Amino acid sequence: MIVKHIEKAFEDARGSIADVLEDETIEHVTLITTAKGAVRGNHYHRETHQWLYVVSGALAYAVRAGEGPLQTGQIGAGDVLGTGPMEAHALEALEDTTMVVMTRGPRGGREYESDTFRLDTPLIEGDAA
């Protein structure tokens, strides 16, 4: 799991530029909106790497790699949460949230569910998808 805040690489009177990812191959980019209180995830992927960039809002996250310890925290606008294969993950929107999810692996387009494995015991309670 990776959690980091994205800093501006350049800024002037026109605005700013921030590099969300560097040196990564991305196969799919998905825009997701989530209503406050909604839970997403409670699953893992066998092959897919994904990076979630929060455009606006805030999320609580729970991530567990294999049988390892549960890691929890919060992320907000400008933060990236990255998970790799076999890392179970769940998210709860602390406010209405917009995020961009970038993936490498079969988790996108028509293959959206082919590498998604639901958890028997949720990391965060609630309806998750």
Query: What does the pLDDT read at residue 20?
Result: 93
Q: Is residue 91 part of a domain?
A: yes
Q: Is residue 13 part of a domain?
A: no
Q: What is the pLDDT of residues 61-74, one digit of tens each?
A: 999 999 999 999 99
User: What predicted TM-score, i.e. pTM, was given to this entire model?
Assistant: 0.90
Q: Is residue 12 part of a domain?
A: no
Q: Is residue 123 part of a domain?
A: no
CATH number at residue 54: 2.60.120.10
Query: What does the pLDDT read at residue 19?
Result: 93
Q: Which residues contact 120 (CB under 8 A, 6 or more apart)?
A: none
Q: Is residue 84 part of a domain?
A: yes
Query: And the tokens for 127?
Result: 């309806």
Q: Is residue 61 part of a domain?
A: yes
The structural domain count of the chain equals 1
Q: Domain of 50? A: 2-7+24-118
Q: Is residue 76 part of a domain?
A: yes
Query: What does the pLDDT read at residue 126?
Result: 78
Q: Is residue 124 part of a domain?
A: no
Query: And the tokens for 47?
Result: 């092959």
Q: What is the pLDDT of residues 64-105, one digit of tens each?
A: 999 999 999 999 999 999 999 999 999 999 999 999 999 999
